[in-house]
């Protein structure tokens, strides 16, 4: 037989954890001091202390310490019912305050308990150990014995609390206790009728007392829960008052807080006092929400005041956006009206008169069109391209980092960047300038495809999956009221249909999105799919790469051999590819 491994002698060595053994120093204090400390604890704390070490367990679980447990129980508010006969004080505390299953020790026995039966189980153990009286009687074969069936259910407490105790064959009982009671009944039955009568009366009286104890504890538990709810409500009210006072010190008003905001309600109405640490944590979030609410209310007031001119301006803007779009492709990428309305020239045009009811004419709107395009370029197109390019750079950086570590890149989350503000405070390069040329070049790569996660995949003229940045801006004009950099629903995506599309268009693997657009968009007719004998992407109102990739993905599970392209376009695209090489 192999010799057991000799344990290392650790005598004289310091413990590795700094707090190991420190609790044992409590046994070095005088006994009367220790008892005084223990008597001020909560019963649950006393249970935890008794399990800290063998010595503490032997000390606190001694019958001589019953007065300490009684004193600890009296510390609870409201006062608990006295401990019943046949149940020790530690067992009483464990039954009421702990939520561990007494059968399997699972820590989720919250609602399955019976103070009359003095047990607490998890859902599974409750199901296995609690059965109806009739089923238990049939299980052990006493259902036909009239003498025992007439008294057995009155001698055992029901498992269900807060109910009228019927104590009949349809009541639920604790199976082990039921079986033990039947065995004891049969044993006493053999001793004579007098002994059996005394046994039945004794057990019936005990059962009644246990039911009364169950009702008393349940009533105490309900009163304790109500008292806790009152304290929690008061603490939440005090916390909300303290937070509003802090906001007033910062120059905000309590009315600035939005109503019906779940995030604000969660920060304000918590049953915990407001500490310096908590305030430092929630202050930036609250200020951001308050500022957003102020901006929203100011916007509503502005719209209400200038409603007439806003309506006319929106009408003229929509006419301008949709007029001659094929001759001016940049109009597809113009911002939506709520975004365009924030531009300085539009804001100035709207508020250029003192009377908000004065009519705004189409001629006045036409006078700012040139300035409007300049501001769109500087304050919308360039920031949008830079934002989207940054998302592509972030994905490439994450992929490269994962590759260097030899791991697989995690699933991409909705793209968002940490921005210090909105509008002109977007991400810039280290020197504070946006490299527009680098952003534009990056957005022509095959890796620069985007997905909008908040919209239906198929729109009227575009698929919101695998969009180029131009298609994304077109989609943004139709379906969003804020700039792209203020949204958290854009993420960079990749299309498995890109290699098939390149082979079908007879383009090299290093082609760009610009090459694909030149090949497809320059054709006088819609490219035809020879497999489907129909337009390659269902003849939409406009040709978009997203719909073309969607057609290949959904209609061609295998590789697509080629698309029929006009010969002139094919030759010009090949020449452009050769010159680029």
User: What is the model's pLDDT at position 487?
Assistant: 85
Contact 109, 121 (CB under 8 A): yes
User: What is the model's pLDDT at position 407?
Assistant: 59
User: What is the model's pLDDT at position 499?
Assistant: 84
User: What is the model's pLDDT at position 19?
Assistant: 60
How many other CB atoms are there within 10 angstroms of residue 22's CB atom? 10
**Residue 377 binned pLDDT confidence (cut-offs 50, 70, 90):** very high
User: What is the model's pLDDT at position 207?
Assistant: 93
User: What is the model's pLDDT at position 82?
Assistant: 94
**Residue 23 binned pLDDT confidence (cut-offs 50, 70, 90):** low
Q: How many CA atoms lie within 13 A of 89 on its CB side?
A: 23
The rounded distance, in Å, linking the Cα atoms of 436 and 419 is 19
The rounded distance, in Å, linking the Cα atoms of 165 and 421 is 65
The rounded distance, in Å, linking the Cα atoms of 45 and 88 is 17
User: What is the model's pLDDT at position 313?
Assistant: 92
Contact 414, 490 (CB under 8 A): yes
**Residue 320 binned pLDDT confidence (cut-offs 50, 70, 90):** very high
Q: Say which range, 32-41, 59-68, 261-270, 540-549, has the weakest mean pLDDT.
A: 540-549
**Residue 567 binned pLDDT confidence (cut-offs 50, 70, 90):** very low
In the structure, how many helices (H) and strands (E) does the chain have?
A: 24, 8
Residue 524: partners with Cβ closer than 8 Å, 6 or more residues away: 566, 569
User: What is the model's pLDDT at position 462?
Assistant: 54
Q: Give tens-digit pLDDT for 379-396.
A: 999 999 999 999 999 999
User: What is the model's pLDDT at position 1?
Assistant: 38
Structure tokens given for 556: 């061609």
**Residue 516 binned pLDDT confidence (cut-offs 50, 70, 90):** confident
User: What is the model's pLDDT at position 418?
Assistant: 43
Residue of 472, 478, 573 lying closest to 522 (CA atoms): 573
Query: What value does the mean pLDDT take over residues 91-112?
Result: 90
User: In the 8-state DSSP scheme, what is residue 329?
Assistant: G
Is it the case that residue 9 has pLDDT exceeding 60?
Answer: no
Of the chain, the percentage scoring pLDDT greater than 90 comes to 48
Q: Say which range, 137-146, 167-176, 345-354, 565-574, has the weakest mean pLDDT.
A: 565-574
Is it the case that residue 7 has pLDDT exceeding 80?
Answer: no
The rounded distance, in Å, linking the Cα atoms of 365 and 345 is 10
pTM summary value? 0.56
User: What is the model's pLDDT at position 452?
Assistant: 87
Is it the case that residue 560 has pLDDT exceeding 90?
Answer: no
User: In the 8-state DSSP scheme, what is residue 23?
Assistant: G
Q: Mean pLDDT score of the chain, rounded to an integer? A: 82
């Amino acid at each position: 037989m192999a010799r057991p491994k000799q344990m290392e002698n650790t005598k004289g060595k310091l413990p590795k954890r700094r707090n190991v053994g420190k609790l044992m120093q409590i046994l070095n204090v005088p006994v009367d001091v220790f008892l005084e400390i223990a008597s001020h604890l909560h019963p649950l704390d006393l249970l935890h202390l008794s399990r800290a070490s063998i010595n503490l367990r032997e000390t606190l679980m001694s019958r001589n310490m019953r007065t300490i447990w009684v004193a600890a129980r009296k510390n609870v508010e409201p006062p608990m019912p006295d401990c019943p006969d046949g149940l020790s004080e530690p067992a009483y505390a464990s039954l009421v305050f702990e939520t561990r299953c007494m059968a399997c020790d699972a820590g989720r026995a919250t609602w399955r308990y019976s103070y009359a039966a003095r047990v607490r189980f998890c859902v599974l153990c409750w199901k296995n150990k609690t059965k109806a009286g009739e089923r238990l009687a049939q299980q052990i074969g006493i259902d036909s014995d009239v003498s025992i069936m007439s008294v057995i259910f009155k001698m055992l407490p029901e498992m269900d609390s807060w109910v009228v105790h019927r104590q009949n064959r349809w009541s639920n009982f604790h199976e082990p206790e039921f079986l033990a009671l039947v065995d004891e009944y049969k044993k006493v039955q053999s001793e004579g009728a007098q002994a059996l009568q005394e046994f039945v009366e004794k057990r019936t009286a005990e059962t009644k007392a246990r039911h009364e104890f169950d009702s008393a504890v349940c009533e105490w538990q309900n009163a304790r829960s109500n008292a806790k709810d009152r304290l929690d409500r008061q603490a939440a009210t005090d916390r909300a008052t303290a937070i509003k006072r802090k906001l007033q010190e910062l120059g905000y008003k309590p009315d600035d807080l939005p109503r019906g905001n779940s995030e604000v309600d969660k920060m304000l109405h918590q049953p915990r006092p407001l500490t310096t640490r908590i305030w430092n944590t929630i202050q930036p979030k609250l200020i951001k929400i308050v500022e957003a609410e102020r901006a929203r209310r100011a916007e509503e007031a502005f719209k209400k005041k200038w409603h007439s001119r806003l309506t006319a301006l929106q009408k003229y803007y929509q006419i301008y956006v949709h007029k001659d779009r094929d001759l001016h492709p940049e109009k597809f990428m113009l911002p939506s009206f709520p975004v365009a309305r924030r531009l300085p020239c539009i804001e100035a045009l709207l508020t250029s008169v003192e009377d908000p009811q004065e009519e705004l004419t189409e001629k006045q709107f036409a006078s700012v069109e040139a300035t409007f395009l300049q501001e769109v370029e500087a304050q919308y197109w360039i920031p949008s391209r830079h934002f989207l390019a940054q998302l592509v750079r972030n994905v490439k950086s994450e992929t490269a980092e994962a590759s260097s570590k030899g791991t697989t890149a995690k699933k991409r989350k909705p793209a968002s960047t940490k921005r210090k503000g909105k509008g002109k405070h977007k991400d810039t390069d280290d020197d504070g300038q946006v490299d527009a040329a680098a952003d534009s070049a990056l957005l022509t790569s095959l890796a620069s495809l985007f997905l909008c996660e908040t919209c239906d995949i198929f729109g009227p003229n575009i698929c919101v999956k695998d969009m180029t940045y131009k298609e994304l801006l077109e989609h943004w004009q139709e379906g969003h009221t804020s700039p792209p950099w203020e949204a958290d629903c854009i993420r960079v995506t990749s299309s498995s249909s890109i290699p098939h599309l390149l082979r079908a268009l007879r383009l090299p693997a290093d082609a760009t999105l610009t090459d694909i657009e030149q090949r497809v968009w320059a054709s006088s007719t819609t490219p035809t799919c020879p497999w489907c004998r129909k337009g390659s992407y269902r003849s939409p109102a406009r040709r978009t790469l997203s719909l073309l990739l969607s057609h290949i993905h959904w209609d061609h599970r295998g590789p697509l051999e080629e698309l029929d392209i006009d010969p002139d376009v094919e030759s010009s695209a090949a020449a452009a590819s050769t010159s680029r090489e």
